Amino acid sequence: MQDRQVANRRPPELHGSRGAVLIAPIVAALLAFGCGRQSAERTARSVDATPAAVVSTTQESVPSAPEPVRPQTELPQRGDAALSAESLPPEIVVSASDTLVAPGATVEFTVRGTSDVAEVVVWDGIGQRQALALDSASGVWRGFYRVPLGASRDRLGLSVTARTEANKWRRVWVFLKIQQDAPPALPEAPPGS
């Protein structure tokens, strides 16, 4: 008889793992429910503690047009320092001499920027970054870029990045369409050969 009872018993480690599997979702639900209730109670307490605005009306009051929103006279604060013109990134406009190019061709870039631009760089993500030079007579940045001979894709993205002395920057992307050479045509065989 004892042998039968022993055979029907399960090992104790199975009881523990089943219990943990059954209890874990219940505990998680109680924690989630409890946290949400405390948050709602806190919100309700803070609303109750806030005094309500008293509005007095008379029978002669006429509804007026809504008052227009007035812009703030002060610049918004970020941390302890106020925003200023030096904290803004520069603005640039980029133009390329040609956007349909062949491998090995050169492209001239002209960049018009705000007066605080201190450096303009062109980069294709493959080779070295190339700095543009400021043309003081016209006030624009100029430079050349050579399309790599091994350009295997039909489009090449170049980043043109302008930086200020305060290390604020603006990046503009220029995409060049690579015109791949057509494979050489095979000479046609004369008819009847």
Q: Domain ranges for the chain, please list them.
A: 10-47, 85-178
Contact 135, 117 (CB under 8 A): no
What is the number of alpha carbons within 13 Å of residue 1 lying toward its C-beta?
Answer: 0
Contact 116, 90 (CB under 8 A): yes
What architecture (CATH level 2) is domain 85-178?
Sandwich (2.60)
d(CA 124, CA 150): 13
| C-alpha closest to that of 162 among 101, 99, 100, 88 | 88
| C-alpha closest to that of 149 among 84, 80, 101, 94 | 101
d(CA 128, CA 105): 17
Residue type, 74: E
Q: Mean pLDDT of residues grouped by 10 in the chain (193 residues)? A: 56 59 73 58 48 44 52 50 79 96 95 96 93 96 94 91 96 94 59 65
State the pLDDT at residue 56.
Answer: 42
pTM of the model: 0.52
State the pLDDT at residue 35.
Answer: 58
State the pLDDT at residue 13.
Answer: 55
State the pLDDT at residue 53.
Answer: 45
Contact 149, 183 (CB under 8 A): no
